[in-house]
Amino acid sequence: MSLNRNEKQTVVTDVAAQAARSQTLALAEYRGMTVEHLNALRKTARDKGVYLHVLKNTLARRAVAGTGFEVASPAMVGPLIYGFSEDAVAAAKVIADFAKGNDKLIVKAGAYAGRALDAEGVKSLASIPSKEVLLSQLLGLMQSPVARIARVLAAIAEKRGGPSPEAAPAAADAAPAAA
């Protein structure tokens, strides 16, 4: 189906707006995929907050012109599906994970932070844990030393037969007030 000039301009504007909000672009060749598989990929992308669209390569090049994704323009050849995401790893993760289970979807290229990525770069970007997982790991690392110190202080207080660590700060606060 051919688009008229106004429809093409609308597509370019929509994709350019999405590119302006996004951190990552992932490109994959979908040749030979069934409609059911494409619909499943689209549903997964929607659930993860990834803008996934099949575009004419010329329109995609126009849409990303002047953005950090322009570096991926040379890879925009053949039947491609474009994935944009505001999350740094979501688009790469959706496409790479789906490609693992479907040999017809081939990861081609991508772009992140103004740098072009080859297929291996997109796959390695996809292997990075999500922001939420990284934050929880960081929080766990930050809590670990504090928890260890609290356990050691509790063990020392118990060994001496003194007040528990919770009572010790209250007693210390009360002592200067009495003086």
Same domain, 101 and 139: no
In this structure, of 29-38, 86-95, 124-133, 156-165, the range with the lowest mean pLDDT score is 156-165
* Same domain for 150 and 121: no
More confident call, 68 vs 176: 68
pLDDT, tens digit, for every residue of 90-105? 999 999 999 998 889 9
Same domain, 101 and 23: yes
117, 63: one domain: yes
What's the N-to-C CA distance of the chain in angstroms? 88
If you average pLDDT over each of 26-35, 131-140, 152-161, which comes out highest? 26-35
- pLDDT at site 46: 93
Are 16 and 87 part of one and the same domain? yes
Residue 164: predicted pLDDT? 54
Tokens of 173: 């606060």
Same domain, 121 and 141: no
Domain CATH number, residue 42: 3.30.70.1730
Nearest one of 51, 61, 124 to 82, comparing CA atoms:
51
Burial status of residue 116 (CB atoms within 10 A of its CB: 0-12, 13-18, 19 or more)? middle
Same domain membership, residue 142 and residue 95 = no
- All residues at 6 or more sequence positions from 119 whose CB lies less than 8 Å from its CB, including other chains: 106, 107, 108, 109
Q: Does 144 lie in the same domain as 105?
A: no
What is the reported pLDDT for 81?
94
pLDDT for 166 equals 57
Residues 37 and 116 in one domain: yes
Q: What is the mean pLDDT of residues 1-11?
A: 84
The parent domain of residue 10 ranges over 5-128
Enumerate residues 6+ apart whose C-beta is below 8 A from 13: 63
Average pLDDT, rounded, for the chain: 86
45 and 110 co-located in one domain:
yes
Q: What integer pLDDT is reported at residue 158 of this predicted model? A: 87
Quote the number of domains for the chain: 2
Same-domain status, 62 and 146: no
121 lies in the same domain as 139:
no
41, 105 contact by CB (below 8 A):
yes
pLDDT of residue 28: 94
- CA neighbor of 23 nearest in space, from 100, 107, 109, 92: 92
- Average pLDDT of the segment spanning 51-60: 92
| Strand arrangement, sheet containing 50-54 | 50-54, 80-85, 24-29, 106-112, 115-118
DSSP state of 33: -
CA distances from 89 to 25, 53, 94, 163 (A): 9, 17, 9, 50
List the one residue out of 37, 33, 32, 25 whose CA is nearest residue 92: 25
The reported pLDDT for the residue numbered 80 is 93
Look up the pTM and report it.
Answer: 0.71
